[in-house]
Amino acid sequence: MAFACQTVVAVTFAYSAATKAAGRAAFADFRGWLSSAAGVAAGAVAPVAAVMVALEAATAVAVLVPVLAPAGFVLAALLLAVFSAGVRSMMRRRVGVPCRCFGKGRRPPGVLHLLRNGALFAVAVAGGALASPLFADTAGAGPPPTVLANGGEAAALLAAVVGGTAALLLINLEEIVALYRHERP
């Protein structure tokens, strides 16, 4: 279970950071969005953008490193709380610009984004609990060595597939909803 949580958080945060830092144009677009939609002051846009991307990338790595996994999950939960507060603020201000959570979004910040953040927050909290020293058998990154030593490669693979699939569903939630509603791109 801990390995599945690690996979969800790592894939989601890595993808989010990568789409924002995919090149000069992508990063400039993200900075522009921070200024126009998120309301970040012009002088703070560049450092805020850089820190956000760095924190997302650091979170993706930290949850996979045994000694850092508990802190990585805490960082993920904190970031998701901040992101959710930002989404809620943009909803109150009726921001109509599509969200840049994962590159170019389809929809303005709204309930769908809050639901996705809530699901990721729950995964981060569960993963943090499972990676904590209180759960010594499952603490740290990846499947516990005892699982692999006892022929548990299939369980570890299943956890990775479940976690990766959940991450991809959450990343593509806007597109999935659009398909369900028969919306055109």
Nearest Cα residue to 122 out of 1, 15, 14 = 1
- The per-residue pLDDT for range 9-50, each reduced to its tens digit, is 999 999 999 999 999 999 999 998 898 888 889 999 999 999
- The per-residue pLDDT for range 149-178, each reduced to its tens digit, is 455 677 778 888 999 889 989 998 888 888
* Percentage of residues in the chain having pLDDT higher than 90: 53
Q: Quick check: 87 and 114 in contact, CB under 8 A?
A: yes
Domain boundaries, the chain: 2-180
Q: Identity (one letter) of the amino acid at 4?
A: A
Q: Is 80 exposed, middle or buried, given 0-12, 13-18 or 19+ CB atoms closer than 10 A?
A: buried
Q: How many helices (H) and strands (E) does the chain have?
A: 8, 0
Q: Quick check: 116 and 175 in contact, CB under 8 A?
A: no
**19 C-beta neighbours (distance < 10 Å), count:** 20
Nearest Cα residue to 37 out of 85, 90, 74, 115 = 90
Instruction: Measure CA 97 to chain center.
Output: 20
Structure confidence at residue 71 as a pLDDT band (50, 70, 90): very high
Examine the pLDDT at 1 and tell me if it is beyond 50.
yes
Tokens 């958080």 correspond to: 9
Tokens 């900075």 correspond to: 31
Task: Return d(Cα 94, Cα 89) in angstroms, integer.
Answer: 9
Which residues, other chains included, contact 66 with Cβ-Cβ below 8 Å and sequence gap of 6+?
139, 140, 141, 142
Average pLDDT in the 121-144 region? 73
Examine the pLDDT at 146 and tell me if it is beyond 90.
no
Examine the pLDDT at 138 and tell me if it is beyond 50.
no
Examine the pLDDT at 73 and tell me if it is beyond 80.
yes
Q: Quick check: 118 and 81 in contact, CB under 8 A?
A: no
Query: For residues 51 and 143, which has the higher predicted lDDT (pLDDT)?
Result: 51
Task: Return the pLDDT at 135.
Answer: 64
